[in-house]
Chain A
């Protein structure tokens, strides 16, 4: 399964990943049309200052506290990706409180969102020559100017 790693040695604190994330989760396309004049709600957050900084997003824990805590059963692991069913989420914020990394982000409508490795963002689909979808490239990974966020395949721990 895939995991995203951040490499704080190379993070510049430019915060661009936040904007690319917000844009990808608003359907992608022209960023200014999606984000102009709005407060963004990225699922990745950059911590630190100019000297030391790193991006934080969901770790896709093997035993997610958010999943255990969710009172509506809205969180599940789908092919290794900890995902929220926004139709089931009742906006109680239990997951926000239980995630040790602060990776759950409330949306404008009050239901929760979180990083799902961009697997639900059609704009981030990787396509083969025939146009078939072969995977998804996270927007933050794709657009980080200094390779400070990388996506790697990891062993599934039983």
Chain B
């Protein structure tokens, strides 16, 4: 007999309001609801509910709510309910616990303990509705272009030609209408319609979305100028046209949700267009190795960076994406010297389609600290302008975004937030591939639930709203260009932090003058 785990959630139906329309039973892919003819009543099997709110949202009489069960073990501050249940599950299955989306643990947030500045009396604030406010940014190397040879080891090339004239050639750049992009999510981990929504929204907004490691569906080449194509350890879906299709190429070394871990798309999901796009045999497991098997050093990375530069005729900036881990500053310094144009860092709260729970919840470091120490290190070494810095890993609101820019980011990646605009309710069951919102699934009847017209509009609305908020905050600070906010840590003050934390972030205590 298996150890019994009581359902985490209970489906509460207001019988007075329920009209037995069965929309809930038709829409729940987890088969929680059913209609009982004998009693003319709806029933629910709580044990299958993942709390995705699909039924709650669609119920026409608003007769439904999902509550956290108050069923309890004998309270124990050391053994939490979740810990006990997880132990029972493992005793039953003998397996590694799987989960998805970002780290839900109550680790401290540094963004929440940073406060922003505004102008008063001695310096004027700006009204963004009346005066121009520049949010456009360019990502890429801002220093002179190093010669295109993999064995050239001068990290900082001479800004002058041998005849004494100034070098004016610019490295390729990504132009963004605002310092925000949708981060990598592969076709396979998310649906065709989710990709369509992201691609169309990025195009309308003048920003970029990212293919993730699953290749680029042929229908989406038209959004190329707003696409970042990824090269990951599985090398799925990569060919010359693919590399050339995007605005930039991203080498994925790691991911915040599961640093040090590869990926695994089970054969039963690697079918049809997903398999075609990945250029893998249908029905075979698509396994992304944990490391790139040809990269064991910065020198190896440099070879791949330069191979990709050559493959794209030196017209595309190369991004190297890593997870925020303990040695992130030294690693980033190496990446900057490898010839990469942009470094993307993914914090420990970043999302995923599937990860071992223990890794998601315990490996990596907060993005705020990683960003601050990488920015400081690159400045100290005089190579900050050789690369742009993009950070992600739970940018939850424009406030987090603005604080990240002030800490030194050239741009931010959002993914969880973008999926939420598409309907995701953070039920964290992507790994079951039964997403009721048509996002993290390939089942045609579920994929259909995400109409890209609606999805695109929601994404555009969200990002526009954030852009307005960015402009208002900048205006309040008396700053009229986002370039002037970048790395402007004087615009930040800390509350409730230790001296070490403030040192690491390079910010002053609230109340301290500049």
Contacts of B58 in A (CB 8 A): 14, 16, 145
Whether the Cβ atoms of B26 and A14 lie closer than 8 Å is: yes
A: residues with CB less than 8 A from B are: 9-10, 12-16, 19-20, 23, 30-32, 35-37, 50-51, 143, 145-148
Chain A residue numbers with a CB within 8 Å of B449 are: 12, 146
Task: Give chain A nearest CB distance to B26 CB in angstroms.
Answer: 5
In the bound complex, residues from chain B placing their C-beta under 8 Å from that of A147 are 451, 453-454
Chain B hits for A148, CB < 8 A: 451
A13 to chain B, nearest CB (A): 6
Q: CB-CB < 8 A to A15: which residues of B?
A: 21-23, 26
Pairwise interchain contact A10-B16, C-beta atoms closer than 8 A: no
Asked whether B17 is an interface residue with its Cβ less than 8 Å from the other chain, the reply is yes
Distance, CA A23 to CA B445, complexed state (A): 27
A9 cross-chain contacts in B, Cβ below 8 A: 448
> Is B63 close to A, CB under 8 A?
yes
Contact between chains at B23 and A146 (CB < 8 Å): no
* Residues of A with C-beta under 8 A to B298: none
B75 near A: Cβ within 8 Å? no
**B116 at the A interface (CB under 8 A):** no
Q: Contacts A15-B21, A15-B26, A19-B21 hold; do A51 and B444 have CB atoms under 8 A apart?
A: yes
Q: Considering only CB atoms and an 8 Å cut-off, how many residues of chain B contact the other chain?
A: 21
Contacts A20-B60, A145-B58, A147-B454 given; indicate if A31 touches B19 (C-beta within 8 A).
yes
Chain B residues whose C-beta falls within 8 Å of the C-beta of A146 in the assembled complex: 448-449, 451, 454
Q: Considering the chains assembled together, what is the distance between the CA atoms of A15 and B60 in angstroms? A: 11
Given contacts A10-B448, A32-B18, 20 further A-B contacts (CB under 8 A): A12-B26, A12-B27, A14-B27, A14-B58, A15-B21, A15-B26, A16-B23, A19-B23, A19-B60, A31-B61, A32-B16, A32-B61, A36-B16, A50-B445, A51-B444, A51-B445, A145-B57, A146-B451, A147-B454, A148-B451
Partner among B19, B22, B448, B451 whose Cβ is within 8 Å of the Cβ of A35: B19
Q: B369-381 CB contact bits vs A (8 Å, 1 = yes)? A: 0000000000000
Nearest CB on B from A19, distance (A): 5
- Which residue of chain B has its CB nearest to the CB of A51? B445
Hey, which chain A residues are within 8 Å of B448, CB to CB?
A: 9-10, 12, 146
Of the candidates B18, B23, B444, B453, the one whose C-beta lies within 8 Å of that of A14 is B23
* Residues of chain A within 8 A of B23, CB atoms compared: 14-16, 19
Q: What are 14 sample pairs from A and B whose C-beta atoms fall under 8 A apart?
A: A9-B448, A12-B448, A14-B27, A15-B22, A15-B26, A16-B21, A16-B58, A19-B21, A35-B19, A37-B19, A51-B444, A51-B445, A145-B58, A147-B454
Q: Is the CB of B451 within 8 A of A10?
A: yes
Q: Which residues of B contact A31 (CB under 8 A)?
A: 19, 60-61
Question: A residues within 8 A CB of B27?
Answer: 12, 14
